Structure 1
Amino acid sequence: MIDALVYDGAGVESYDDLAAARAATGTTWVHVHEATTEEIDAVADAFDLHPLAIEDVRNDVRAKAEEFSTYTFALVKTARLTRGETTFEEEIDDEPVGVFIGEDWLVTVATGSAESITRVQEAVRRGDERLLERGPDFTAYRVLDVLVDSYFDVLEHLEAQIEAIEDEVVESPDADLLGEINSVRRELLSFRKVVWPVRETLAVLARGDVRAIQADTQKYYRDVYDHLVQLVDLLETYRDLVVGTRDIYLNALSQSTNEVMKVLTVVATIFIPLTFVVGVYGMNFADSPYNMPELAWEFGYPAVMLGMAGVAALMVLYFKRQSYL
């Protein structure tokens, strides 16, 4: 779908013809979303966009910024969290957005829906004075700004997941929890692969020597760049938190195993002397002066049982005093 707007301080006008939109007086913004091959080719022909830049948008390459003779090209990414039937099936879905900034025109090409860019379009149609009175470089800034703001929505969801996992690790660690930890870790890594190149792209646009961006607009690009720096720092922090949470989970699991092994060891230790007694009195040799006299004693069996119970009780008391039980 192609939306062509031409606007200035006097108002906004929509165009169906791309050539007429480019020739019109004012700032021309053509936005292509859910773009087909034919639509991309039509926009590329109308604004003389380089085939390599168009190929980058189609092939979904790494985010980048590049200057051409009549415009500046920036490839950035949208990011959203797609949910499956379970938490383990969540993943970061990214789509390329090509931003072409000319002298008096702006072209944005998105292979997906790019809903955040649509909000900027609606602001233009409503007559946002800051957008109408400034050039295409300011509109491009607003597009990049809303894309970066959408990153924080994804990060907020990941933060909530990490907090929930931390609570589970402390309260009731189980086997499924490790899968959740690894899932969040993969999402953070995927998100980092999206954000880091976009940060580098904004660094190029904000450094002050890009011809298509006016001097009074540079500070806005630097602001978006600062947001991306903050985002990368938070991603690194959250990744460290997830690694730490995994270590806590493994330590808790090991501690639980150690507690079980301690109890089993204590039980086995209690039964060692009892087994010895049973083994000794199980040697029923007869017709010898060296036989155990207790074998013929009337109260031999109850005496041995009471003795064994006494030994077991003493050992349990000892282990309790030593805090083994």
Structure 2
Amino acid sequence: MRGLSKYIVSNSVRAERCEATEIEIYCYNEAGCVSYPSFEEYTRAEKGENCTVWINMDGLADTELIRSVCQRFGIHELVVEDIFHTSQRAKIEDHGDSITILAKMMYYKDGELVNEQESVFIGKDFVITVGERRGDVFQKIREHLQNSESNVRKNKADFLAYLLLDSIVDGYFDVLETLGDRIDESEDSLLSDPDMETLHSLKEIKKDLLYLHKSIWPLRDIALWLERDRSTVISPDIREYVRDLYDHIMGAIDTTETFRELDAGLRDLYLSSVSNKLNNVMKVLTIISTIFIPLTFIAGVYGMNFVSMPELTWKWGYAAVMALMAVIAVLMIMFFKKKKSF
């Protein structure tokens, strides 16, 4: 079974996508919080009473480290494999003495939207989080752990798990705020001077909103499960916080749907603007063509070169024809002007 597991892991994680694994460990209780730079130091250290441990690992390159950490806390080998299958839909599984949650975490890093899988393992006195790459949305939680007056240190692992999920949802709102600004900029550009660059921007926003929708929606089911299921890992007191998390998720879903409708409306507006521009060009060309139709007729008549055409030998024939053509052109321009055709 172990050989099969290694084969599955090696075939589900592409080496070029894996970042070096970084680990951070916090062991805390109401009295204080201690951090460890490595898993070896954590295993050798003496822990205080009623300690809760949070182990956060970013990057999937060091599969042996990830497997050894999970094994130390009794996470089943088949469950660990879910960490490396990063294209999975968000889900929750109850294993009796622990809970596994797979969620999509989204945030901006160096101007680029990051969409990665975050694996969360929750036990009575531990939480393990594993992300695909370095970077996350948990900085506020780290700060709370260093604050002696914070509620985090006064609660257990289930409260920490709630905060982690809430931070992921907060990350969605940060992404939505940025996308909302981009939608406003695209709208201003459409109203002033629509171009292909604006259309490409709207298509990128549409794609980001689609990823966001697919990431948020399954969290709704996860929050409902945490609120209604009677797992021994989640205490009844935490269910009140989970209800707030559910409302938070529904707010993100509603905002995402609103932005998707706005984006679709702006793309329709762009197509309408381009169509109106084309219609205006065609109208101008039609007016010009209409003006030249009688002029072309006159020029065609006198270009037939028949012998018995007295105007051809008349001294003022050329001037008279040119004057007639000018009068006709002016009259037609006045006609189109009166009809407000331009």
How far is 1:199 from its partner?
2.8
Q: Summarize the Cα distance change of 1:4–1:296 in structure 2 as closer, same or farther, 3 Å threshold.
A: closer
How far is 1:241 from its partner?
0.8
Residues 101-121 of structure 1, C-alpha deviations (whole Å, 9 max, x = no match): 212222222332343224313
Matching residue of 1:87: none
Residues 147-191 of structure 1, C-alpha deviations (whole Å, 9 max, x = no match): 211111111111111110011111101122221111111111122
Say if 1:75 and 1:98, in contact at 8 Å, map to a contact too: yes
Comparing 36-45 with 63-72, which one deviates more in the overlay?
36-45
Matching residue of 1:312: 329
Matching residue of 2:101: 74
Say if 2:58 and 2:132, in contact at 8 Å, map to a contact too: yes
- The residue type equivalent to 1:242 in the other structure is D
How far is 1:134 from its partner?
1.3
Counterpart pick for 2:67 among 25, 33, 41: 41
Residues 72-115 of structure 1, C-alpha deviations (whole Å, 9 max, x = no match): 1111222123567xxxxx5x422222222212222222332343
Give the Cα separation in 1 of the matches to 2:57 and 2:302: 90
Comparing 195-204 with 260-269, which one deviates more in the overlay?
195-204
- The residue type equivalent to 1:42 in the other structure is S
Residue 93 (1) aligns with residue 114 (2): yes
Query: % of aligned pairs identical?
Result: 38
Say if 1:21 and 1:28, in contact at 8 Å, map to a contact too: no
Residue 151 (1) aligns with residue 172 (2): yes
Alignment of 1:69-218 (within 5 A): 69-81=96-108, 92-218=113-239
Say if 1:22 and 1:105, in contact at 8 Å, map to a contact too: no
Q: Summarize the Cα distance change of 1:22–1:68 in structure 2 as closer, same or farther, 3 Å threshold.
A: farther
Counterpart pick for 2:313 among 296, 306, 310: 296
Matching residue of 2:56: 32
Residue 59 (1) aligns with residue 80 (2): no
Q: Summarize the Cα distance change of 1:208–1:219 in structure 2 as closer, same or farther, 3 Å threshold.
A: farther
Give the Cα separation in 1 of the matches to 2:133 and 2:46: 24
Say if 1:76 and 1:201, in contact at 8 Å, map to a contact too: no
Q: Summarize the Cα distance change of 1:126–1:257 in structure 2 as closer, same or farther, 3 Å threshold.
A: same
How far is 1:316 from its partner?
0.4
Comparing 100-109 with 113-122, which one deviates more in the overlay?
113-122
Residues 279-320 of structure 1, C-alpha deviations (whole Å, 9 max, x = no match): 11122222xxxx233222221111111111111110000000
Matching residue of 2:249: 228
- The residue type equivalent to 1:27 in the other structure is C
- The residue type equivalent to 1:321 in the other structure is K
Say if 1:4 and 1:28, in contact at 8 Å, map to a contact too: no
Comparing 189-198 with 241-250, which one deviates more in the overlay?
189-198
Aligned residues: 315
How far is 1:70 from its partner?
0.7
| SS state at 1:107 partner | strand
- The residue type equivalent to 1:74 in the other structure is I
Q: Summarize the Cα distance change of 1:3–1:179 in structure 2 as closer, same or farther, 3 Å threshold.
A: closer
How far is 1:14 from its partner?
4.1
Give the Cα separation in 2 of the matches to 1:55 and 1:48: 14
Give the Cα separation in 2 of the matches to 1:277 and 1:191: 66
Gaps of 5+ in 2: 1-21
Comparing 104-113 with 247-256, which one deviates more in the overlay?
104-113
Comparing 55-64 with 109-118, which one deviates more in the overlay?
109-118
Give the TM-score normalised by structure 1. 0.90
